[in-house]
Structure 1
Amino acid sequence: MRNPIGKPLPTTAPHLAETQQPWRGISLLLAAVLLLACMDATTKFLTTQYDVPMIAAMRYIVHCSLMIIILAPSQGKRLIKTQRTGWVIVRGASLVIATLFIGLALQRMPIAETTSIIFLSPLIVVLLARPLLGEHIGALGWVAVIMGLIGTLLIVRPTSGLDTLGVIYALGAAVATVVYQLLSRMLASSEHTISLLFYAALIGAFSFGLSLPWFWQGIQPSWQDYLLFISIGIYGGLGHFLFTAAYQHAPASVLAPMNYVQLLWAGLLGWLVFQHIPDQLSLLGMTVVAASGVLVVLKSRLPRLQTASTDLA
């Protein structure tokens, strides 16, 4: 979920990205959101047999181990070097909370609906950006927020049949994701992306790893289930890596709308794996939520577009 759920803001300078290869960046991002959607689908499948903390522990242990094995030899101290360690830890803890809520939501609801609710987080960030970051919301931002709320109400309406507790968990995941995104934005100026990724994986592995004795309790997964446990760590680790790499080839303004393709992957995997097809009103709500997210992206681009037109004049 992820992210959106679990996606750090890039630190690559936009003017550098624009001189590179945007189509390569778009391809990497589309592959990343596909992997993250596969992680959600696999997680949902495993929740039918195992507790969510156990699944999350396996995910983060594999993810963290892969980063140590693959990146530690080349990155060295850069992997663990931070300027504001306390906030980096809080950021990682917010991702741990979001992961727990996402797993609990997926245990009770279809993938597409869960993903759509969690995608409210960019809209909440817009609302909090003014009091916390001093950013201007503007008319376009308010339109995006209202559209997102309408879309969510279409998805979670009383006749939708969604589990009430599952909706609460999904909303909790969205709130935790907001904290994660705000801290990502705040830390982007002082921290390396690779260290932010590593600390998030390390804190997740440590936090959920401590809970394993309470949730394993004599369970003997089959070798197929072990492969699925390993796969979610690979999906998450590789998905985050490709997501970060995408911003080395294209600017954020080009890539941000592509994140909403994850809603498409979520719906497709929900249909292929779980034979779930959202009803027409839910599909309409998902479309409205995605459109509101694109408006948020346009809002962020508007000042630059206006500046460009002024320069041309």
Structure 2
Amino acid sequence: MKSLPDAASANVQTGETAEPDLLQNNPMLGISLKVASVAVFVGMSTLLKAADGIPLGQLIFFRSFFAVLAILVYFALRGQLSGILQTRHGFSHFWRGMVGVGAMSLSFYALTKLPLPEAIAINYASPLIAVVLGALILHEVVRLYRWSAVVIGLFGVMIIIWPRMTLFAEGNVGHNEAMGALAALGGAVMAAFAMMLVRRLVQTERTSTIVIYFSISASVIALVSVPFGWVAPSWPQLAMLIGAGIAGGIAQILLTECYRHAPMSTIAPFEYTSMLLGLGIGFLFFGDIPTFEMLIGSVIVMGAGGYIIYREHQLAIAPHKTNTPQQAQ
């Protein structure tokens, strides 16, 4: 979602990974930047959820367009604006943009229908699904232990969404929540496809190129929704939308930087701090009270994702190898 970061991949939102020649060894700084990026991403999701009544396409436009401003400032300060749009893989960027916007659309829709922590929890299915897609499409080698973790993790997702599906089947008042749960799961699947596309792009493209093409393409694609009924936001809503976009850009920058300072296997587990933040913010601002099923399912999903990260660490998959599908174990 893509506003909801994944648990075991470089970055679903933008697909950035650290430039190999700029890697540094400072794990504590890397962890701090990761936690900061998670906090800003959750803050962005909170602003989008609070901007109630804004059409989906309009949410995506503000989220993407104002992120571009923060990203351009960042790369300008790093002296990386030169040649930022140069690419030999324009078609790949186009598909990455389409899939990324699809993931955002479903995730943002889920935010409008579900409690914040529940939307975050279902999004944790994304790295699990990415393992399946990597094996089936990219022919990555996935052995029994990780397959077992994937199956257990997806079982945890089913525990989370099952109460919503039961209400839907009974034709009860939970219809909107059921649609939100399905949208969140669909967003996780689309985000997993985005990971797959990004794994190919990072082998030939610069971080700055991937980031800027995605943000620009998402902004342009979102404009297609204008004829379907954008609304004039109130001043508070406008402030939330602009704030969400800038927050999204800042979070992408923080996420980019964290992978420069520590290996993915060190940083990735701290993605799960988003659940704690989501629980706190959901309760304080939206009155969301987590269900027993959501808590149990979340623990199972996080445990499965954490085990996959552990296995990758045990197999000594270095950060640069993580982006080389044929070397994944």
1:1-313 correspondence runs (5 A): 1-4=3-6, 5-13=12-20, 17=23, 20-46=25-51, 48-72=52-76, 74-158=79-163, 163-216=177-230, 219-304=231-316
Q: Distance in 1 between matches of 2:41 and 2:308?
A: 22
1:213 deviates by 4.5
Q: Is the 8 A contact 1:98 1:173 kept in 2?
A: yes
Q: Distance in 2 between matches of 1:11 and 1:184?
A: 13
1:61 deviates by 1.4
Root-mean-square deviation (Å) = 2.1
Q: Is the 8 A contact 1:57 1:212 kept in 2?
A: no
Q: Distance in 2 between matches of 1:23 and 1:37?
A: 21
Q: Distance in 2 between matches of 1:248 and 1:70?
A: 15
1:202 deviates by 0.2
Q: Distance in 2 between matches of 1:270 and 1:250?
A: 30
Is there any run of 5+ residues in structure 1 with no aligned partner, and where? 306-313
Return closer, same or farther for 1:118/1:231 CA change in 2, 3 Å cut-off. same
Q: Distance in 2 between matches of 1:141 and 1:129?
A: 12
Q: Is the 8 A contact 1:54 1:215 kept in 2?
A: no
1:289 deviates by 0.7
Runs of 4+ in 1 over 4 A off after TM superposition: 159-162
> Which residue identity does 1:25 align to in structure 2?
G
Residue range with higher mean Cα deviation, 162-171 or 2-11: 2-11
Taking structure 2 as the reference length, the TM-score comes to: 0.85
Q: Is the 8 A contact 1:155 1:282 kept in 2?
A: yes
Point out the structure with the larger helix share: 1
Q: Distance in 2 between matches of 1:153 and 1:172?
A: 13
Percent identity over the alignment is: 27
Residue range with higher mean Cα deviation, 150-159 or 28-37: 150-159
Q: Distance in 1 between matches of 2:81 and 2:111?
A: 37
Is there any run of 5+ residues in structure 2 with no aligned partner, and where? 7-11, 168-173, 318-329
